Copies of this chain bind each other. A is one copy, B any other.
Amino acid sequence: MNHKHVNAICRATRGILTNHFGVEATPKNPSAGSGNIPSNDVAVILGVKGELRGQIICSFSDRTAKKLVSIMMGGMEIHQLDQIGWSAVQEFGNWVAGNTATELSKEACIIDVTPPVVNEGNSTFRSAAPFITVPLTSQIGDIQVHISVKND
């Protein structure tokens, strides 16, 4: 994977956290894996098409999901994610998708991102393709950005 693309994708998620949520996120050391990704409690799955093909998966804890939704709802405390809460998580995915396309276009890479699927629960994503995982730490918890893209 091209490091410029990986950096652009991470920048996209960080940018959403900073600009839409007012949350500073710090990237930690990335790790490379063989394609088995734990879903954590909540995972947002984005499909990538265009000059790159593959997936971006943002995963985080239930606690972080509630904090994200709380901020989206103007600070209202969230005890449990209901249908509106899950829609908000999906909307977070839409923002990441849009910003990812923008950040990659700055690297002269034109892609399009599918609408997000949100996965709730503990499962494992399996893929023959290699993944790079970049953990972002923030005051609302860790967000793992898993990236598996290759040139089409």
Question: Which residue numbers of A lie inside 8 Å of B, CB to CB?
Answer: 34, 39, 45-49, 53-55, 57, 83, 86-87, 89-90, 112, 114-115, 117-129
A129 close to B115 (CB less than 8 A):
yes
The oligomer's copy count stands at: 2
A25 CB to nearest B CB, Å? 23
B126 close to A89 (CB less than 8 A):
yes
Given contacts A54-B115, A114-B53, A119-B123, contact A128 B45 (CB under 8 A): no
Given contacts A86-B126, A128-B86, contact A47 B120 (CB under 8 A): no
Taking a contact as CB atoms closer than 8 A, the residue among B112, B117, B121 that contacts A55 in the complex is B117
User: With a CB–CB cut-off of 8 A, which chain B residues contact A83?
Assistant: 34, 128
Given contacts A49-B47, A122-B123, contact A114 B39 (CB under 8 A): no
Given contacts A47-B49, A49-B49, A119-B39, contact A55 B114 (CB under 8 A): yes
A121 close to B118 (CB less than 8 A):
no
> In the docked arrangement, what's the CA distance between A39 and B89, Å?
18
User: With a CB–CB cut-off of 8 A, which chain B residues contact A57?
Assistant: 117
Interchain residue pairs with CB less than 8 A apart (6): A34-B83, A45-B45, A119-B125, A119-B126, A120-B125, A121-B123
